[in-house]
Amino acid sequence: MKCLFLISFLYFSFFATAQSLNKSQVNTIEQSIKEEIKNSSTPGLSICIINNGKIAYQHSFGIANTTTNIPVTDSTVFEIASLTKIFTSIALQTALQKQGIGINEPIGNVIKGLAPGMSAVTYAQLLSHTSGIIDAWPVRADLTDNVLAYFADAGDKGLFEEPGKVFSYSNNGFALAGLALATINKTSYTKAVEDFILKPLKMTNSSFNIYDVAYRSFAVGHTIDPKGTAIPTLMSFYKKSQPAGGLFSNIKDLSTFAISLLNSGNFNNDQAINAQVIDTLFSKRINVFSVPVGPLNYATFPEGSYGYGTIHFTYNNLRFIGHPGEAVSQNAFFFLEPNKKFAVIMLSNRGFYLFMNSFKKIVDVVLGVKETKLMPFNEKNKNYQPFTGKYIVPDITRDVKQWSEVFEQEGKLFMKLEDNRTFELKQIGDAEFSFKDPGFLFPSAIAFYKDAEGKYKYLNYLFRTRIKTE
């Protein structure tokens, strides 16, 4: 790996304006990124910083493939995973507006053949992960390319709770959003995204077609073995999964996308994206569940919540909006601060690691915002009893395979998982707890949600909700 990291410090730069960051700022930012590259065994990374609506710094580090040692450049295409959800949200909302369909209308008005409960889910609930749809279930071989049949076959067993009751991250919810988009627009899902976003913004390096991407400068994904070695890893992709995480793109296209969003959809003096849709995208949703701290540490900031395909949080009174892409072997980070017309975009070919320390360093250096320590939660008069119990992971087969047992012992709270790993929980909010999982480089956390009767019924872990058993 020493050779890999020597190679990884080779880089290619691009400045779209006169050098907007001074030498000291650049050195500080690059030092932080290089430290995180080394500590996380990340082979390669592309980054873009936008300030005042213009590219202030664009830069690439490392290699796209540890087998070939091909360097990452600003043209290198990465899998952007769940960052795709922003594209799905924009395209679906655009189609709804064009057809005069309300975002709070049930999808069953458009998609025929769904079970009654699934038909009652609204577009808003799909985009905000409050649909009650189970995150995923196995795909039958004969249904890999038939999204409607996939949901029709599952019926209402695909719902673990009534729509609108609780937040639970659902990739299947976005698969259904993609089906709704295709149905409303009378095209394929990918054609709708291309027509509404990619073509108007001339994002010619972005594609849902892995075969198209493979012939370009492509960053191969990598997982990290127990010795810290980056292992090239190729993933399989289903048509159903495209709306939740199937887009490939590069730093050049995503910087164009970000600048357009920061300018209310304007691109080259044309209204490429509907400004009203962007306003909705940027609006913090009311009456939604807070997003608990994730293992990747981008929601450790105050006021974390989920909008319509976007995560919202504040950092030192700055409001950031965007989405990560957390894949097994690649990662994307895309967050905007609309009031400052500021954005940080990072693409890397190492799974489950977001460069959060570098993100904070960039904000501090570029915007002059110094990180402040959050006041520790006051644990006086703590009462853990309402949180204790066994919480199960919803499964379409109703076979309980994954669960969390929360229990109190000697005045401390613990969580035991189905694999017998047990973690001590540290309270960080009224119903939020953090813990250290050796499998992640950042702290993990969980959050408890109450039901209509005011009792803690739900445990959100890794953004997915588990239900308390009686």
Domains of the chain with CATH codes:
2-81+211-367 (3.40.710.10), 86-190 (no CATH), 385-468 (2.40.128.600)
Burial of residue 65 (CB within 10 Å: 0-12, 13-18, 19+) is buried
pLDDT, position 235: 77
Q: Measured at the alpha carbon of residue 288, what is the angle toward residues 296 and 456, in degrees to the nearest 5?
A: 80
pLDDT, position 379: 67
User: Amino acid identity of 161?
Assistant: E
CB-based contacts of 281, cutoff 8 Å, min separation 6: 86, 89, 90, 93, 261, 307, 308, 309, 310, 321
The dihedral sign for the CA sequence 128, 131, 135, 139: negative
Residue 117 C-beta-side C-alpha neighbours within 13 Å: 16
Digitized pLDDT (tens) for each residue of the chain, 470 residues in all: 434 443 344 433 333 343 489 999 999 999 999 999 999 999 999 999 999 999 999 999 999 999 999 999 999 999 999 999 999 999 999 999 999 999 999 999 999 999 999 999 999 999 999 999 999 898 887 887 899 999 999 999 999 999 998 999 999 999 999 999 999 999 999 999 999 999 999 999 999 998 888 788 899 999 999 888 999 998 777 789 999 999 999 999 999 999 999 999 999 999 999 999 999 999 887 655 555 444 334 445 667 788 999 998 888 889 999 999 988 899 999 999 999 999 999 999 998 888 989 999 999 999 988 766 666 667 655 789 999 999 999 988 877 789 999 999 999 999 999 999 999 999 888 888 888 888 777 778 888 989 889 999 999 988 899 999 97
pLDDT, position 374: 61
pLDDT, position 339: 96
Residue 372 C-beta-side C-alpha neighbours within 13 Å: 10
pLDDT, position 9: 40
Whether the CB-CB separation of 64 and 218 falls below 8 Å is answered with: yes
* Distance (Å, whole) CA 94 – CA 342: 24
Residue 347 C-beta-side C-alpha neighbours within 13 Å: 32
Cα–Cα distances in angstroms (integers) from residue 202 to residues 260, 335, 348, in the given order: 11, 21, 23
pLDDT, position 289: 52
Helices of type H across 264-380: 275-282, 356-367
User: Amino acid identity of 446?
Assistant: I
